[in-house]
Structure 1
């Protein structure tokens, strides 16, 4: 009997995109259920009563929520391409950097964008991004030659940030300051597994222009 896999998400969410990338890496067929974030479905509320947020993966009727928790679940539940390293120390490091991206990097970048490029906010975001620049160590991906949990965690930085920068006409992740991170962004979004999950850039740019009053 085939697994029944459903993903409650929203096209255009970088957090839902993380889960789609993981599913694609494993070659898992799934049903995508588009949620209206202003009128969430009864199923979404039932499956994620604590946060009432997307994404939620439902595997054979059992729900899992929170994007990075879901990605780890996918890695545990299905064989195929590994998403987390098998070595205990390397696995712990991957989890550390994934948490760092969520707790430090993305909030700092959000603050810089929300300030419309205010110098201090941009400097604070760049301070966090520098840690990721150093961590890449010249590798193609944070996982070395293959995409891993850290790469998936940084999906927002790879694609959404550039669209927001274009819409606001500011730069946070600059090529001169972050040559390795810029190259990583290109490698990541041009990987077919990732590319298949992404909205066209012009849609995101238009969204950010409207959101930040630039339209």
Structure 2
């Protein structure tokens, strides 16, 4: 059987994107936790350009960047399709994945930046949430693609789970339920999917770490 390994980090929503996809497809894999303050020779060898996680290693061949890895999983193990079959719908899904990749970093920035930078991050996050509410979750859909979880939902995993913990650590509330009813409904649906529910980082472990980050940043 072909060996599958995942280099990741327990706090990273990008690592969890890949974990969810592998679990959904029923792919056995070896998870290797990385210490990003002391990156392993394997990580540096597999991702010499960006030196970041996650990295999927399939039969000795490394694939980097979470969105690229998800596309790879979709092509190699198509048992449970993560993208629509229709070419137009597939293009729309890729648009939203790119949107998530562009905008989601603002969430982590909110937990580790100065007060002035935090204001910019909060503004960017609000714009992202408003766009999702107005244009991404329309037509009464349970998930971005309809009634079934897809690659787009995984791409927005940081919004569904990490944002709430970071808000609590920062003492801020951005994603008010009454302002984003479609988004809040999606968050609940997303976290009720068994594979998601069983594969999320421990909030009690996340909170003090994120709080310390803010203290170090002097916010």
TM-score (norm 2): 0.90
Task: Give the alignment partner of residue 177 of structure 2, picking from 159, 175, 178.
Answer: 175
Contact 1:115 1:121 (8 Å CA) reproduced: no
Between stretches 13-22 and 111-120, larger displacement belongs to 111-120
Task: Give the alignment partner of residue 195 of structure 2, picking from 169, 193, 208.
Answer: 193
Match of 1:90 in 2: 89
Match of 1:157 in 2: 159
Do structure 1's residue 128 and structure 2's residue 128 form an aligned pair? Answer: yes
- How do residues 83-122 of structure 1 correspond to structure 2 at under 5 angstroms? 83-103=82-102, 105-110=103-108, 112=110, 114=113, 122=122
* Number of matched pairs: 212
SS of residue in 2 equivalent to 1:38: coil
**Matched residues in 2 for 1:84 and 1:116: separation?**
39
**Matched residues in 1 for 2:121 and 2:34: separation?**
32
**Matched residues in 2 for 1:177 and 1:108: separation?**
20
**Matched residues in 1 for 2:119 and 2:65: separation?**
32
**Matched residues in 2 for 1:14 and 1:88: separation?**
28
TM-score (norm 1): 0.92
* Root-mean-square deviation over aligned CA pairs: 1.8
Identify unmatched segments of 5+ residues in structure 1: none
SS of residue in 1 equivalent to 2:31: strand
Identify unmatched segments of 5+ residues in structure 2: none
**Matched residues in 2 for 1:128 and 1:197: separation?**
25
Give the direction of change, closer, same or farther, for the CA distance of 1:13–1:111 in structure 2 (3 Å limit).
closer
Deviation at 1:20, TM superposition (A): 0.2
SS of residue in 2 equivalent to 1:174: coil
- How do residues 1-215 of structure 1 correspond to structure 2 at under 5 angstroms? 2-103=1-102, 105-110=103-108, 112=110, 114=113, 122-134=122-134, 135-137=136-138, 138-213=140-215
Deviation at 1:121, TM superposition (A): 5.0
Deviations 1:108-127 (A, max 9, x none): 44455546696665344212
Deviations 1:4-32 (A, max 9, x none): 10001111111100000000110111000
**Matched residues in 2 for 1:124 and 1:31: separation?**
36
**Matched residues in 1 for 2:181 and 2:191: separation?**
16
